[in-house]
Amino acid sequence: MTGAEPGPDASEMTAMLDALVGGRATVGWRPIDAALVADLSDAESAAVERAVPRRQAEFATGRSLMRSLLGRDVEILRAATGAPVLPPDVVGSLAHDRHVAVGVVAEAASLRAVGIDVEPVHEIEHRVAELIVRPDDVTPDALTAFVAKEAAYKAWSVLGGEMLEHHDVSLIVESGRYWADLRGELVVNGELGRAAGRVVALVLIPAT
């Protein structure tokens, strides 16, 4: 869903993420940097050895960001769902566009699952929007729906949820917040931010 978006204003990006998380987790972002590929472990490198250079740079930047957020020099592999495999005492989520990676981590004792997604602000053509937005969704636009549903799905997958289509998730967006019902099996609430030429969605599910 990414386009030829510009890099973000650093202060706007940081302020938006900090406002979304509200001190409930650790969040951050980093420009995509191909030089970080050299810092990957052998196993991490193997996970993207057949990928194009841009994808390798995105993967490496995400791993570098997550290590920074965790404050640990740990190997971060990739689960079958594509999610980062983190130490068992933490939960986390990663996302990226062509220019930035964003991530969020938290102690598993405080949050059961997290999900984050980012997209540059751009128009989504009608035929694609129909695949994202359900007739009963309440959303200002298809881009908002896409980002919100992606973040909700990432949190769902951390909890062991299976693969979903966008129409498996119903959505209500209201004043920078949203509620997502994932096939009637899980309802999550999330936060939405729009700044630095991007839309970011964040879902934090408290531990019970």
Q: Which amino acid is at 125?
A: E
Q: Is the pLDDT of residue 167 over 70?
A: yes
| Structure tokens given for 35 | 């030089």
pLDDT of residue 2: 36
CA R_g for the chain: 16
pLDDT of residue 91: 96
pLDDT of residue 171: 98
Distance CA 87, CA 102 (A): 19
| Structure tokens given for 141 | 């636009």
Q: In the CATH hierarchy, which fold is given to the domain comprising 10-206?
A: Ribosomal Protein L22; Chain A (3.90.470)
The Cβ of residue 89 has, within 10 Å, a number of other Cβ atoms equal to 8
Residue with tokens 């250079």: 53
List, edge to edge, every strand of the sheet that includes 100-107: 26-31, 100-107, 90-96
Distance CA 9, CA 160 (A): 35
DSSP letters, 68-89, are HHHTS-----B-TTS-B---TT
Give residue limits of the domains in the chain. 10-206
pLDDT of residue 92: 96
**pLDDT tens column, 106-125:** 999 999 999 999 999 999 99
Contact at 8 Å (CB) between 72 and 88? Answer: no
pLDDT band of residue 4 (cuts 50, 70, 90) is very low
pLDDT of residue 6: 53
Averaged pLDDT, 138-162? 95
Q: Is the pLDDT of residue 1 over 60?
A: no
pTM > 0.95: no
